Amino acid sequence: MNPEQKVKEFFKNIDENKVLKLLNYKLIDLANNIDYLSVDEIVKYLSTDVNLVSKILKIVNSPFWGLKYNVTSIKQAIVLLGRDEIKRIIYTSMLIASSDNANLEKEDRLFLLKHSFITAELNRIFYKDVDAYTIFFKNELFLLGLLHDIGKILMLTYIPNLKELIPEFVQNKDITLEREKLGLDHALVGGFFMRIIGYPNYEEVIKNHHSTKVDQSSTIYRLLGLSDLISYLFLTNESSNELIDKLDFEEWPLNEYISINKDKILETISELYMLNIDSLFE
Question: Rule CB under 5 A: which residues touch Fe ion?
Answer: 149, 228
Q: How far is the CB of 235 from Fe ion (least distance, A)?
A: 10
Between 140 and 228, CB nearer to Fe ion? 228
What sign does the dihedral 83-99-51-235 (CA atoms) show?
negative
- Answer yes or no: are the C-beta atoms of 147 and 201 closer than 8 Å: no
Residue (of 71, 65, 76) closest to 43 by Cα position? 76
Q: Name the β-bridge partners of 130.
A: 258
Between 77 and 150, CB nearer to Fe ion? 150
Between 101 and 172, CB nearer to Fe ion? 172
Between 53 and 165, CB nearer to Fe ion? 165
Residue (of 119, 115, 61, 59) closest to 92 by Cα position? 59
Q: Name the β-bridge partners of 275.
A: none
Q: How far is the CB of 61 from Fe ion (least distance, A)?
A: 28
Q: How far is the CB of 197 from Fe ion (least distance, A)?
A: 18
Give dist(CA 91, CA 277) in Å, integer.
15
Q: How far is the CB of 271 from Fe ion (least distance, A)?
A: 20
Give dist(CA 138, CA 123) in Å, integer.
8
Please state whether 69 falls in left (phi above 0), alpha (psi between -120 and 50) or beta.
beta
Q: How far is the CB of 148 from Fe ion (least distance, A)?
A: 6
**Dmax of the chain from CA atoms?**
56
User: Which whole-number Å values give the CA distances from 138 to 82, 87, 134, 175, 207, in the listed order?
Assistant: 16, 12, 10, 28, 20
Q: How far is the CB of 5 from Fe ion (least distance, A)?
A: 21
Between 108 and 228, CB nearer to Fe ion? 228
Q: What is the DSSP letter of 129?
A: G
Give dist(CA 41, CA 80) in Å, integer.
17
Between 121 and 149, CB nearer to Fe ion? 149
Q: How far is the CB of 151 from Fe ion (least distance, A)?
A: 7
